Amino acid sequence: MNETLISVIYDGINNSVFEGQVLQPLRKKAQQYRIKKIVIISFEYKTVSEVTRNKILSLTPNIELIILKKFTFLGTWSLLPAIYKLKKVLNYFKHYKLFARGPFASFTCAAALDKTYCSSFVMQARGLAADEYLYSKKKEKNHLKKLIYWYRIKQLRSLEKKAYQNPIGTIESVSSALQQYLINTLEIQKKRITVAQDDIPKKFEPAQVALWKREVRTQLHIKPSDHVYCFNGSAKPWQCPDDVVQFFLKQYTQNRNCFLLVLTQDVATFQKLIKLYVIPEQSYCVLHVPHEDMYRYLSACDTGLIFREQHIINWIARPTKVLEYQAVGLNIAHNNTVEMLMQKKSKN
């Protein structure tokens, strides 16, 4: 039987984690099931450029990319056009396995799939949409806006409940903490939820890491004896950039043989922040590097930094940056706000 592997996403192909968290797992699943054809169906607000399309197609030759129109979410009823469009596309495939990323895609897929032709349906729970929205609006003081936000949060909670409680598929959670949260709050049977493994980056061979380490340290004029701390991420408030710089300043005060390497798109913001804390120029470097070179630069480091605020969305998360640090064997310094890092700490 010639099956097709279909992945439906609702958070866009321009998402920074698309290659590592969407394409890579699909390749693994295709090999596991011995499936030759992969189809990604992405709901997008804007037209996807040919440059973006061609880049994705070059990364995975046996892939087909289908773009559907995404509309503003106003409640589960507003997903009816998406369900209709998706159902028309799925009708072209007579035998397929279906993977949905997040509650929007999961709800839409559950309503659009044909049980006759869909051999398996997996919903991937990657976070908590309602709590993430609430977190993003927590500083709002306007009472009218807060009322509107409250209504949106109610809509998102309803969406998550309807998506994941639907018995038509199984659930793949990105962390054991999220798995337990869904069991406790939505009363989902544990046997319906597994913890994702296919999107964990492979670990690089120590010899390769050592080679990259020498190359990058030479390139950036970092002494071989320095202990290099690395932050890989953005300057968004929830990634706690101030905590990152303050942590390094404390280490530098205790030991001058250390170095801070920041890999970020927000170069100017971090440079300004580092100067604010008066860290010597010879003790840090802020760079924006292409995704394909990221592991090479991470290999130059000894300790990866990840700091988050104390909140449920951070506790149940499995930050991509943690997986990337682990792929090159870095130690991880954190502030005890992510459950998966606490698990690792207790095992050690």
84-133 pLDDT, tens digit each:
999 999 999 989 999 999 999 999 999 999 999 999 999 999 888 888 88
pLDDT digits (tens, 9 = 90+) for 229-266: 999 988 888 888 999 999 999 999 999 999 999 999 99
Give pTM, 2 decimals.
Answer: 0.85
Q: Of 130, 165, 195, which residue sits at a domain end? A: 195
**pLDDT of res. 202:** 84
Distance CA 237, CA 258 (A): 25
- What is the structure's pLDDT at 49? 82
Domain that holds residue 308: 206-347
State which of 195, 229, 248 marks the end of a domain.
195
The verdict on 69 and 168 lying in the same domain is yes
Is 1 a residue whose pLDDT tops 60? no
For residues 189 and 308, state if they share a domain.
no
- Residue pair 173/179 in contact (Cβ under 8 Å)? The answer is yes
For residue 71, is it within any domain?
Answer: yes
* Of residues 65, 117, 121, the one with CA closest to residue 91: 117
Q: Whole-number mean pLDDT of the chain?
A: 89
Does 199 score more than 90 pLDDT? Answer: no
* 160 and 211 housed in the same domain: no
pLDDT in tens, 50-87: 888 887 777 777 788 999 999 899 999 999 999 999 99
pLDDT for position 345: 56
CB 309 within 8 A of CB 226: no
Per-residue pLDDT at 147 exceeds 90: no
- How far CA 62 is from CA of 35, 44, 54, 195, in Å, comes to 10, 22, 12, 27
Query: Considering only CA atoms, which of 260, 303, 122 is closest in space to residue 195?
Result: 122
Q: For residue 327, give the CATH number of its domain.
A: 3.40.50.2000
201 within some domain: no
Dihedral sign from CA coordinates of 70, 75, 25, 206: positive
